[in-house]
Amino acid sequence: GSDGGVTAAPADERMETVGEKWLFFDVDGTLVPFGENAAPSKRTLDALARARARGHKVFLCTGRTRCDIGPGLLCFDVDGVISGAGARIEMGGVCLRAKPLPLTLLRRTAAQILRRHVSCILEGTYGFYYVGEGGERMPWDFPRIRRAGEITRAMSVEKFTAHTVSEAEFAPLAAWLAPWYDIYARPDGRFFEMVRKGQDKAAAIRWLCQRFDVDKADVFAFGDSANDLPMLRAAGMGVVMGSAPLSVRREAALITGAVEEEGVATALERLGLA
């Protein structure tokens, strides 16, 4: 469809794609419905397999940290995984780059979270940790951080999220966080994701492309949320799911269907990648 000045190509229009392409897929809201550890649909899996069979490289590029990518999501072959919203890069099962949050910054951040009474989850490579207690009580039984000094380097925390009853509850903490982190808010103002500035999905993609001498024109990114915008801009072709907010759809080179409408498979076929 078209709105906000964005026009998707007609459904029957097939594009021609020549040469090896590097394809980066957000997970939640793009490959699978939000928060599910289910496998992508059969049609999506078939399209991804066809893309790899044609010589294209397929990467997961997700805000989830490595411990949160279950076997359901990794039930198919990928060439690499960018996790922690850009903090960790793996290829062929080998970690090429890991950039957890610096311990000093993380402890200062945790002290502010505790002082301002906001419920937050620190997301590590190997596990999650609960810090702060605000109006939103969370049901998960993660280890609890009661003092900033309890945080260790071994926790390998890559990013964190805040769960609040309102935007107002988060505002004082947000003001402190803003110089250090990019803050991505869900539209309901009750969920916020913090990614260290300069260390997002786009930075990870650019690092990989530089290392393997891949041209931006050969990079395709698929996403649905505000935290995918840097990645979509770093790609030669940004494909946005139909379920995305208008602010994200506005920046799409191509708009496809939602997850439930097999948007990824449709886009791969239309772009001549599968």
Q: How do residues 201-255 score in pLDDT, each as one tens digit?
A: 999 999 999 999 999 999 999 999 998 999 999 999 999 999 999 999 999 999 9
Question: Rounded to two decimals, what is the model's pTM?
Answer: 0.91
Quote the tokens at residue 14. Answer: 């097939």
Instruction: Report the C-alpha gap between 136 and 127 in whole angstroms.
Output: 21
Strands 237-241 and 254-256: parallel
Mean predicted confidence (pLDDT) in 163-176: 96
Mean predicted confidence (pLDDT) in 115-125: 97
Half-sphere exposure (Cβ direction) of 154: Cα atoms closer than 13 Å: 2
Residue 268 has pLDDT above 70, yes or no: yes
Instruction: Report the C-alpha gap between 220 and 87 in whole angstroms.
Output: 20
Strands 128-131 and 119-124: antiparallel
- With a pLDDT cut of 70, the percent of the chain lying above it is 94
Q: How do residues 19-56 score in pLDDT, each as one tens digit?
A: 899 999 999 999 999 877 789 999 999 999 999 999 99
Residue 146 has pLDDT above 90, yes or no: yes
Phi-psi region of 93 (alpha: psi -120 to 50; beta: other; left: phi over 0): left
Residue 148 has pLDDT above 50, yes or no: yes
**Residue-averaged pLDDT of the chain:** 92
